[in-house]
């Protein structure tokens, strides 16, 4: 397993030595100081600055969250549409917007997922034109948008010298962390609520990471992980590495802008769990505007939550600028965070951009999953179903201008329990033409859910 030895940990502009303990080989990666546009972490609340270490809270002043600070003037001199287009076919084409110090990143092909013009779904919803789905259900390597944040967090973890990485996860993050850690040769131990879907648990164990299934909800898992992070000094991608991790979500916004021909569309709908993805897509658009890659355009940001865990949607509905934590109880386990770290910032983005944050019931989420599958051939997980259901709700309530909408789905095919019992069964027939013909006739005349008996 590679152990990174830093001559002076977390300081830039110097040589990094990396030693492989198995093979005893040493490589030298020269940091490109001229390309580095990050210099500090900065508190989002009071502006206090910190060195670029594994730290996420403004512990000297106000306990606010820390964010990476960029030198945008320098950034605008380094990047252009052409340099990005000439880059790798992964999120690392946007590497200068990401908080890593070197080109020695973990590139497992994450990103550049399809942006699909969704004409059939648009028609079903009564939208007139230009509805796009950003399909992160095919993101690499574990089929969710979490690869974006993990690729960045673990690249930075390696630079900071961590040999063991971890996360507090609602499922997808555990999959990504385990898989990408395996690829990078990092030790991995993840924490999840014990009642997660079987597909998510299996899809983590397979990478030989240690899985701690905690008897409790995500918020309890998260509290435990904060203690472990302090005691063990591991790199928790969404705790002490959170300032780096969260920047990875910007790449989804970057890709949408690039795929739309270097422009922005008028409306985005995205799922909200901690609120990181939603706020960072917004930040990504702002950064592209700031460095001149796209023209400034007002984009409305709407957020999607499941009713059984919708603290941000509730605050939005009640016009509050603070989030009251709730106890999660929703089919959409992947976005069931009762005390979202970036909830107040999500509220800020919604109000700044004239967006909405809505919630939908479990039944609407299942309908959302089916609707996307039937119209666009995409089998999304519950987070995606939530997003589609909120889009439908906003259209029906007349809250969406039926033009230029980009829906960001959260993703993948690991929550089959959610739709079991709602999509019918195969028609079992004999290997005879008349058996097939009887079944076919019934299938054409009856609703499939009413037609589930076995044919013999
Ligand atoms: C599939 C999927 N989509 C969206 C989200 C929302 O993530 P965030 O915590 O950045 O709001 C999650 C969170 O786990 C997720 O698993
Ligand atoms: Zn502060």
Distance (Å, rounded) from C-alpha 421 to C-alpha 249? 34
In a domain, 281, yes or no: yes
- Which of 133, 139, 144, 145 should be mutated for ligand 1, with most atoms under 8 A from CB? 145
Helical pair 276-290 and 343-352, crossing angle rounded to 10 deg: 50
Do residues 436 and 384 share a domain? no
Coil, strand, or helix at residue 41?
strand
More confident residue, 96 or 39: 96
For the chain, the domain total comes to 2
* Segment 93-116 mean pLDDT: 96
Q: Identify the bridge partners of residue 214 per DSSP, sorted by sequence position.
A: 193
In a domain, 361, yes or no: yes
In a domain, 89, yes or no: no
Of residues 280, 286, 300, the one with CA closest to residue 357: 300
The tens digit of pLDDT for each residue in 164-190 reads: 999 999 999 999 999 999 999 999 999
Do residues 252 and 374 share a domain? yes
Cβ of 334 closer than 6 Å to ligand 1, yes or no, is: yes
Residues in Cβ contact with 117 at an 8 Å cutoff, skipping those fewer than 6 apart: 130, 131, 132
Centroid of ligand 1 to alpha carbon of 87 (angstroms): 27
CA 283 to chain centre: 14
Do residues 405 and 323 share a domain? yes
pTM of model > 0.95? no
Helical pair 198-205 and 172-184, crossing angle rounded to 10 deg: 10
Do residues 267 and 295 share a domain? yes
In a domain, 168, yes or no: no
Strands (E), 154-283: 164-168, 187-193, 210-214, 235-236, 267-271
Centroid of ligand 2 to alpha carbon of 49 (angstroms): 8
Number of Cβ within 10 Å of residue 298's Cβ equals: 10
In a domain, 28, yes or no: no
Do residues 354 and 452 share a domain? no
Confidence tier at 12 by pLDDT (50, 70, 90): very low
In a domain, 62, yes or no: no
Confidence tier at 2 by pLDDT (50, 70, 90): very low
Distance (Å, rounded) from C-alpha 451 to C-alpha 456? 14
Nearest CA to ligand 1 atom 4: 410
Determine the structural domain holding residue 352 and report its residue range. Answer: 115-140+247-418
Confidence tier at 384 by pLDDT (50, 70, 90): very high
Distance (Å, rounded) from C-alpha 170 to C-alpha 150? 14
Confidence tier at 406 by pLDDT (50, 70, 90): confident
The tens digit of pLDDT for each residue in 25-50 reads: 223 333 344 467 998 999 999 999 99
Do residues 353 and 253 share a domain? yes
Q: Are 183 and 151 in contact (CB under 8 A)?
A: no
Do residues 299 and 434 share a domain? no
pLDDT value for 175: 97
pLDDT value for 14: 29
- Which of 148, 197, 334, 412 should be mutated for ligand 1, with most atoms under 8 A from CB? 334
In a domain, 316, yes or no: yes
Do residues 437 and 455 share a domain? yes
Q: Is residue 240 classed exposed, middle or buried when 0-12, 13-18 and 19+ CB atoms within 10 A define those classes?
A: buried
């Amino acid at each position: 397993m590679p152990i990174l030895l830093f001559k002076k940990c977390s300081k830039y502009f110097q040589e990094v030595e990396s030693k492989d303990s198995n093979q005893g080989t040493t490589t030298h990666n020269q940091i490109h100081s001229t390309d580095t546009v990050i210099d500090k972490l900065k508190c989002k609340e009071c502006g206090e600055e910190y060195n670029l270490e594994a730290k996420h809270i403004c512990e000297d002043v106000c306990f606010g969250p820390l964010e990476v600070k960029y030198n945008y003037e320098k950034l605008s001199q380094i990047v252009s549409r052409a340099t990005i287009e000439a880059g790798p076919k992964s999120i690392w084409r946007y590497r200068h917007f990401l908080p890593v110090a070197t080109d020695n990143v973990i590139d497992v092909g994450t990103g550049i997922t399809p942006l699909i013009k969704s004409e059939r779904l648009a028609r079903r919803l009564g939208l007139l034109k230009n509805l796009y789905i950003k399909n992160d259900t095919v993101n690499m390597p574990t089929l969710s948008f979490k690869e974006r944040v993990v690729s960045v967090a673990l690249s930075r973890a390696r630079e900071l010298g961590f040999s063991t990485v971890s996360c507090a996860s609602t499922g997808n993050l555990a999959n990504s962390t385990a898989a990408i850690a395996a690829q990078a040769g990092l030790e991995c131990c993840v924490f999840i609520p014990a009642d997660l879907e079987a597909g998510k648990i299996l899809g983590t164990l397979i990478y030989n990471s240690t899985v701690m299934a905690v008897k409790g909800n995500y918020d309890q898992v998260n509290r435990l992980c904060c203690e472990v992070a302090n005691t063990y000094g591991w790199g928790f991608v969404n705790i002490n590495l959170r300032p780096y991790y969260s920047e990875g979500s910007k790449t989804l916004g970057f890709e949408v802008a690039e795929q739309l021909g270097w422009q922005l569309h008028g409306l985005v709908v995205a799922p909200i769990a901690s609120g990181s993805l939603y706020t960072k897509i917004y930040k990504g658009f702002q950064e592209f505007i700031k460095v001149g890659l796209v023209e400034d355009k007002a984009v409305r940001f709407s957020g999607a939550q499941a009713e059984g865990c919708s603290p941000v949607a509730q605050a939005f509905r009640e016009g509050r600028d603070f989030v009251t934590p709730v106890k999660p109880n929703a089919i959409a386990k992947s976005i069931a965070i009762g005390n979202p770290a970036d909830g107040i910032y999500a509220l800020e983005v919604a109000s700044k951009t004239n967006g909405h944050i809505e919630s939908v019931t479990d039944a609407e989420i299942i309908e959302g999953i089916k609707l996307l599958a039937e119209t666009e051939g995409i089998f999304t997980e519950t987070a995606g179903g939530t997003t589609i259901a909120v889009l439908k709700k906003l259209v029906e309530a007349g809250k969406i201008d039926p033009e230029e909408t980009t829906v960001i789905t959260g993703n993948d095919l690991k929550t089959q329990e959610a739709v079991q019992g709602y999509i019918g069964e195969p028609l079992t027939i004999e290997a005879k033409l008349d058996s097939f013909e009887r079944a076919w006739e019934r299938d054409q005349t009856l609703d499939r859910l009413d037609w589930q008996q076995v044919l013999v």
